[in-house]
Structure 1
Amino acid sequence: MHSRDVEAAMLNRCEAVARERAASALDQREANVFRLAAMVVQSRFPREATRLMQASERYFAAHPNERLPAQDVVTKGWVVSLPRLRDQLSHTLQLH
């Protein structure tokens, strides 16, 4: 997959989890991305942000040492930038 495809897949996963109540992150990458996504969209989408954060926290409850600082998530390339994540996820949540 190309980086744009990976990014689109992660955005789709964020959107799906933001709409579910009992979702959980499947791995370290998702848990960290969900946590950041929750933080960047909380002001406009509080309910969805809460669900993303809960999905992240469920994963970290079982894997506490896998939580990373935001800078590390960006450095690993899991998120291109926080403003881009905010803008793209906000757009996606607003449309659906």
Structure 2
Amino acid sequence: MEEKLQQGHNIILFSNHQTEADPALIALLLERTNLYFADKMAFVAGDRVVTDPLCKPFSMGRNLICVYSKKHMHDVPELIEMKRRANIRSLKEMALLLRC
């Protein structure tokens, strides 16, 4: 992976249903062997990891891109537009990350 990154390629690791602590634990485990990965790795997660008071502490200090779930987009009608705008910002951020 390091070789590919040095060549300017992107690396994407997929994880389904990550736990709230995964980003912090992965970064902690990588700090000793590859600080660059630990610092630069970005995680895509649902809104719960940044809004839930019990989950939020695990997410702080990580490079998180929040995506609001289509399944819950209409749960609170007053928040639909805010969630859509947030998802558009997240998509733009991911596009920028993949261009580097």
What's the TM-score once normalised by structure 1's chain length? Answer: 0.30
Which structure shows the higher helix fraction?
1
Which structure shows the higher strand fraction?
2
Higher relative contact order (CA 8 A, sep 6+): 1
What's the TM-score once normalised by structure 2's chain length? Answer: 0.29
